[in-house]
Structure 1
Amino acid sequence: MRQGNALVAMKTVVSAFYLLPVCGIIQVLEAENIPSCTPRKTVTYQSGNLKSFWKRELSNFSTLIVSEETDILYAGAKNFILALDLNDVSKELSREPWFSTEDRQLGCLRRGKSKAECQNYILILHKINDTSLYVCGTNAFHPVCSYVVIDNEKLQLRGKAVESRGSCPFEPNLKYASLMVDGALYSATSNNFLGTEPIILRSLRNPLRTEFKAQWLNEPTFIHMALVQDSRKSADRIYVFFTETAVEFEFYDKIRVSRVAQLCPSDLGGRRVLKNRWTSFLKSTLVCSVPELDFQFNVVQDVLALKAAEDGHETIFYGIFTQQWGKLDISAVCAFSLGTIRDVFLKGSYKVPLSLDCSHVNWVPHRGDVPSPRPGGCIDVSAHNQGYNSSLDLPDQVLQFARDQPLLDDTVTPIGRRPVLLKRGTKYTRLTVDRAVGLDNSSYNILFLGTGNGYLHKALSCHGETIIIEEIQLFPSPEPVQTLKLVPKKGLLYAGSASRLVQLPVATCARYRCCFDCVLARDPYCAWSLPLRSCVHAAGQPRSSQDLIQSLRNGDASRCPEEGRRTGFFAFCSGAGVGACRAIAVCLKVWFRLITVKAA
């Protein structure tokens, strides 16, 4: 009984920790005690260097894929699949209509859905090769998938559309994730019309799925899937990012938590236990918080993997997070290393349910023996050495443990144990990340963040500091950024919304008219050329050139020519940002009023 009371007390403390955003911390946030990045420069839509694709009959550009070999951008829209010129997105190369039948639309309407919902929204696009795509659409709440053949830049649907519940969402606004690996489609969505059966499914080859149990998935919102190929020749892994209602906490309201789950492409399911089910499904909690305030950003909105580079940098997962409670509009960006995630899945302790007479089910760390090989693991070198060649060879005891205890007690903490970026008054919706080499031969990560009102924030992450270089208005009227796609080799970025697609370069160095502006911008793509007296793209420039000025770490403009410098208040504004300038302007205004009063 004492153990039960202790567990209840522990559970109360944990629930109180997640309640902090509701109770005392809101006042702290409203006092703006959390630091917030302010964009240094704002670029309006009229002056933006944008190319735009807009057609009255086309809408909901929900998914984009790139074919760099053929210079084509493929887009999924409502009732259409599009092929656009990768170098000039305003040029349409081909379109293939894919409408739901009239009977299907009428059936959808009879089930209480609107006319707008009862269309075919193309949500899944995957490139199979240079001449074919795999596509899936909502099909008026009756999802189907098919193939598209590409012939001389022309698109054409081939074969009969196949019913594909579990592969594609039923409704257009439901978040989902999908991935194509070695001819198999991995998808995370809902398996039924009502959206009450969440599923992570592998189809087209060696089909497997998750169990319909709350311990596995509990009201999840799926965000992203990423394949990580193990350079140590151990085993490839797929990581699934999502938010779900926590089963391990009890509270008057549902507590949402961010998770990352592991799957193994080599998984074949169990022979008896977990037959046709994942044997490698494990999940852990993602932590994105402000440590000094004990404030949790517990809802993940988007995730992107910055792949490992040849310079030794490992894969980093960047995620946008918000808080569940309160009306404060704060977004956080946290970065997680692949090594930390991998170690949690390889070494973390399991969390197990424990029934108590005085309470409901409580979840506690597993302290007993763990069967071998490790439940929920991949068939790697260690498993092979023990004589297990596939998941079909795993003992029932291992599979039963994996089925009943998929949640790990260890959490995944971010790099630096804090967000790399915090922004008040802005809701980030999408992100992508690039890696650039500065003139100092150091590697820098640049974040591109789409907002809920149609802006793009470009931010530099530099030695523990993050600055927002600029914000760019992408659309003529406010609307959320739904998709972001980066093509690093071309230095181009593509953004989609409900109404249009836009294309823009990752940097427009000519915006910086003088040396002082160019250097203080701390833009890794740009440097000031002394001979040309202009801000130029640093790519392709000799790294040892003394004729180029760039200072990414501290924005040191001391090498700028005297005639190119600006001093006083306006020079400070160029470096300090809009927020600081406004504060100074208010102070000056008050000061002038006081002088006027005294003079009177």
Structure 2
Amino acid sequence: MCPSRTSSSIMDPSGLLLLLLLGVQSSTGSLPPPRTSFLLNSAVRPLVHFSLPDVQNTNTLLLSDDGSTLYVGAQDAVLSLDVSQSDIIALKKKVEWRPSNSDITECQRKGKNPSVDCPNYVRVLQLINSTHLYVCGSYAYSPHNAYIDTESFSMVQQGGAKGHCPFNPFQRNIGVTIEGELFAATTTDFKGVNPQIFRHFSKNGRSDVSLDSSLGLLEEPAFISSSLDPADRKLYFFFSEVGKEFNFVNKLQIARVAQVCKDDVGGRRTLQKKWTSFAKAPLLCQSPRQLPFNVLQDVFTLQPPEGSNTSDTLFYGVFTSQWSSDSESAVCVFRLQDIKTVFTGSYKTFDVGKHRWNPLQGQHSHLGKCGQDSASDSILDDIKKNFLTGGSVKPVGYGPIVVSSGQQYARVAAMRTKAANGNQYTVLFLLTESGFFHKVVLFDLGPQVIEEIQVFKQPQLMKSIILSSSKGVLYVGTSEGVTAVPLANCSIYKTCSQCVLARDPFCGWSPTQRACTSLDTSPDPIVQALENGGVDEKCGRVTRKRQDREILVPLNEAVRLECVKPSNLATLTWTSSQFENLPENLFIQSAEGKLSFFATDATFGSYQCEAEEAGYKEVVASFSVRQIASPRSVRPSADVNNDNDHKHKDDDLVTVEPEVLEESYPTESKRDDKFTTIDKEIVIKKNHSGLGNIFQHNNSESTPTSNRDVQCGRKPLSEAHEKYSYFSALVWVSILLAVCICVLILGCLYLWHQNNLGLKVTPLVSEKDSSHVNNCMETVPSLSTTEDAGPELKVVD
């Protein structure tokens, strides 16, 4: 009976209940928000993007040893890109590799979508030797491989490649070449349900080897990454699979690391041409009193510093939780020495009678060892059945180094860099599912997100990243193309305080150049304060008073002053020379930093916006609000042709947005106004709906400006708000009144004229009641009193 397929739980229901109760508590120690944010195609933080209109799914990347060429495996093509210059990605050569029409038809006949499933997606791209590339593609659900000459970049040979890469182009796999041999972890069937780990192209007369298919050594794995330990000549595979040692209601995912000896040749009779060194162990990534992060998404291998022991190699893994309904992820780091210790420790054995895994008793020193080709059949049979370790690989520090409760990370890269103080710092580059890169620095007091950069818009099913620390560039491959992300852009910080507050180990302030510069390019000592604040000591307190920006507004107008945050972590405070504290009955301060109030005698005066971050304060905006003499005097020249094109529902509001000064800050707008942009135009808007509409104002509306600036002396009023003025209203009312008077006078003159001609009109005296007078002049109001009335009319028979 296969142990992995018939195993039952070692966890009783009470233990599971306790685990669930512990897991309902909220996560702690989540990452702080990014300090600065940059949207795609930002002019402040530019990226280099490459794409071709006829090439899609450029998501398999390989960087040449000299870093000058980036090879790209795409859909139906392989590209060679010139990346020798950091600001340009240029196409060198392209090889098309498409399935034939008959291959597409056959793929469609088997129930696959011809345009989605049946193209050739390149899934393995490796240097097989110094002159040729090895590529493997899904090729219309019939895996093929090929060799490409790197000099001429032409295909020299191709053929079938079952077991080299998956049939399903969207199934994750591992393919790596070591000393001319291909190690592949993939599925080997059309349905994608038979996983295998192979060694192909074996050297030195050895046979190719694979896993023993008679045992369920792997259960629905999702292969993630691999890494070679050159000292022990072992290859480690990282993946997630269904954990059959636990019998849960739902399939329980377990993160794993498996090992094989690179030079394994299998046994003589037992395990012929099969791995005799295969073993697997759980990877544990769990915060205290929390459910574990059990689904592995990506692993990055960070080699130790030169001259160090290879056992100090670190593996940075991105994990998610199958129980979490929110975007939640964590990063755990594992040491190679700890993995080795687990594989040389205790193992488990499957008890067929009780259908459960139990600790393996006795000495079994041969488990997890290399060089078992001459072992006896009994030892090989023991190796064949006992492949699961008794212990788990625990992370460094026994918990995650990064926990994010608002982002789901998909890929990770890591590097070490030396700061100005000589200390080494680890920087993580984490790619989110939504398309943002988070640059995270690991400090002693906790991780900090230095910046986030958007690299693609739509979520990507397939994506990959390659870090070139020597070039200072991170390459991202998606269906949208290839994007090069510079690891740092120090020039975005314009002042010493902002450069130091960024806490970016790549950047520092140069006192001689008076600029924020990279450590690699600065010939002079630079200023940094990574661990502690100390901006005052490093940069000195800024004593220069910012000149007030004069704002002229009419009395009783609603005014809103806007202030740009230097960073997402800064807090804004408004102060005024007229008030010790701004009274809440007169002023409204929004969370985004806007100050709103009515222009009255009590509120005219100067206002300053002060930003505070890490204990450092600085004034970032200053205004002087003064009364203007008359509404007519603030009417600028208008373009009558555009008068009807700009109508605003809140036309009684004067909005003053901050100027883009030399000391601009690297923060851009994002979804739901989460971040404030530094690229806004300076606009003053005059509206007519009162303070109640202050928070309904739409900053995204187009506001063409006039040629004069009467109101504030700096920027003109918007023509969209000029059409409604007191002067225009007065003119229209006067015209209407004059027309009414003229109509009334003309009517009376007409009646008088008809009476003089002797025509029949209404008699002065009614035949029925001779005591009443019906005089047409009575329709004109008399201004005289009763005493001054004229002679009384008498009726004569």
Q: TM-score range by the shorter chain?
A: 0.7 to 0.9
SS at 1:393 equivalent: coil
The equivalent residue for 1:156 is 154
Shift of 1:588: 8.6
Contact 2:188 2:194 in 1 (8 A): yes
SS at 1:440 equivalent: coil
Residue 118 and residue 577 in structure 1: after superposition, are their counterparts in 2 closer, same or farther (change >3 A)? same
Aligned length: 552
Correspondent of 2:370 among 378, 388, 397: 378
Partners of 1:481 and 1:441 in 2: how far apart?
39
Counterpart check, 1:118 vs 2:121? no
| Identity within the alignment, % | 33
Contact 1:121 1:137 in 2 (8 A): yes
SS at 1:562 equivalent: coil
Partners of 2:15 and 2:214 in 1: how far apart?
23
Q: Which moved more, 1:477-486 or 1:571-580?
A: 571-580
Counterpart check, 1:38 vs 2:33? yes
SS at 1:563 equivalent: coil
The equivalent residue for 1:562 is 541
The residue correspondences of 1:1-12 to structure 2 (distance < 5 A) are: 11-12=11-12
Amino acid of the residue matched to residue 526 of structure 1?
C
Shift of 1:497: 1.1
Counterpart check, 1:97 vs 2:78? no
Counterpart check, 1:250 vs 2:247? yes
Counterpart check, 1:188 vs 2:185? yes
SS at 2:108 equivalent: helix
The equivalent residue for 1:4 is none
Amino acid of the residue matched to residue 392 of structure 2?
T
SS at 1:295 equivalent: coil
Partners of 2:181 and 2:520 in 1: how far apart?
38
SS at 1:208 equivalent: coil
SS at 2:388 equivalent: coil
Point out 4+ residue stretches in structure 1 off by more than 3 angstroms.
Answer: 7-10, 23-26, 476-481, 564-567, 570-576, 578-581, 584-592
Correspondent of 1:201 among 198, 202, 226: 198
The equivalent residue for 2:628 is none
**CA offsets per residue over residues 408-454 of structure 1, 9 Å max, x none?**
01100111111111112212111111111111212111111111111
Shift of 1:128: 2.8
Correspondent of 1:72 among 59, 69, 74: 69
The residue correspondences of 1:77-88 to structure 2 (distance < 5 A) are: 77-86=74-83, 87=85
Shift of 1:294: 2.8
SS at 2:150 equivalent: strand
Amino acid of the residue matched to residue 303 of structure 1?
V
Amino acid of the residue matched to residue 453 of structure 1?
S
The equivalent residue for 1:441 is 422
Partners of 2:298 and 2:321 in 1: how far apart?
14
Amino acid of the residue matched to residue 180 of structure 1?
T
Contact 1:186 1:201 in 2 (8 A): yes
Partners of 1:452 and 1:564 in 2: how far apart?
44
SS at 2:105 equivalent: helix
**CA offsets per residue over residues 313-357 of structure 1, 9 Å max, x none?**
8210000000012312101011001111111112x2101111345
Partners of 1:199 and 1:59 in 2: how far apart?
29
The equivalent residue for 1:224 is 225
Contact 1:420 1:464 in 2 (8 A): no
The residue correspondences of 1:293-312 to structure 2 (distance < 5 A) are: 293-310=289-306, 312=308
SS at 1:434 equivalent: strand
SS at 2:416 equivalent: strand
Shift of 1:577: 2.4
Counterpart check, 1:369 vs 2:360? no
Shift of 1:571: 12
Residue 475 and residue 438 in structure 1: after superposition, are their counterparts in 2 closer, same or farther (change >3 A)? same
Residue 478 and residue 209 in structure 1: after superposition, are their counterparts in 2 closer, same or farther (change >3 A)? closer
Partners of 1:496 and 1:15 in 2: how far apart?
44
The equivalent residue for 1:281 is 278
Shift of 1:521: 1.5
Contact 1:520 1:556 in 2 (8 A): no
The residue correspondences of 1:17-36 to structure 2 (distance < 5 A) are: 20=20, 25-26=23-24, 28-29=25-26, 33=28, 35-36=30-31
Shift of 1:591: 13
Contact 1:455 1:473 in 2 (8 A): yes
Q: Which runs of no fewer than 5 residues in structure 1 stay unpaired?
A: 1-6, 380-390
Counterpart check, 1:489 vs 2:484? no
Partners of 2:322 and 2:67 in 1: how far apart?
43
Give the structure-2-normalised TM-score: 0.65
Shift of 1:554: 2.5
The equivalent residue for 1:428 is 409
The CA RMSD measured in Å over matched residues stands at: 3.0
Give the structure-1-normalised TM-score: 0.86
Partners of 1:392 and 1:56 in 2: how far apart?
53
Shift of 1:25: 3.3
Partners of 2:296 and 2:245 in 1: how far apart?
18
The equivalent residue for 2:494 is 513
Shift of 1:10: 5.0
- Which protein has greater RCO, CA pairs closer than 8 Å, 6+ apart? 1
Partners of 1:237 and 1:561 in 2: how far apart?
54
SS at 2:165 equivalent: coil
SS at 1:503 equivalent: strand
Counterpart check, 1:451 vs 2:432? yes
Shift of 1:282: 0.8
Amino acid of the residue matched to residue 551 of structure 1?
A
The equivalent residue for 2:328 is 330
Counterpart check, 1:404 vs 2:385? yes
Contact 1:305 1:315 in 2 (8 A): yes
The equivalent residue for 1:50 is 47
SS at 2:266 equivalent: coil
Shift of 1:368: 2.6
Amino acid of the residue matched to residue 316 of structure 1?
L
Partners of 1:316 and 1:534 in 2: how far apart?
35
Residue 579 and residue 306 in structure 1: after superposition, are their counterparts in 2 closer, same or farther (change >3 A)? farther
Shift of 1:565: 10
Partners of 1:298 and 1:459 in 2: how far apart?
22
Contact 2:80 2:93 in 1 (8 A): yes
Contact 1:514 1:564 in 2 (8 A): no
Q: Which moved more, 1:417-426 or 1:78-87?
A: 417-426
Q: Which moved more, 1:60-69 or 1:473-482?
A: 473-482
The equivalent residue for 2:531 is 553
Correspondent of 2:348 among 326, 346, 351: 351
SS at 2:271 equivalent: coil
Greater Rg, structure 1 or structure 2? 2
Q: Which runs of no fewer than 5 residues in structure 2 stay unpaired?
A: 1-6, 547-561, 574-588, 598-690, 693-797
Q: Which moved more, 1:458-467 or 1:478-487?
A: 478-487
Contact 1:287 1:414 in 2 (8 A): yes
Partners of 1:323 and 1:566 in 2: how far apart?
52
Residue 473 and residue 564 in structure 1: after superposition, are their counterparts in 2 closer, same or farther (change >3 A)? farther
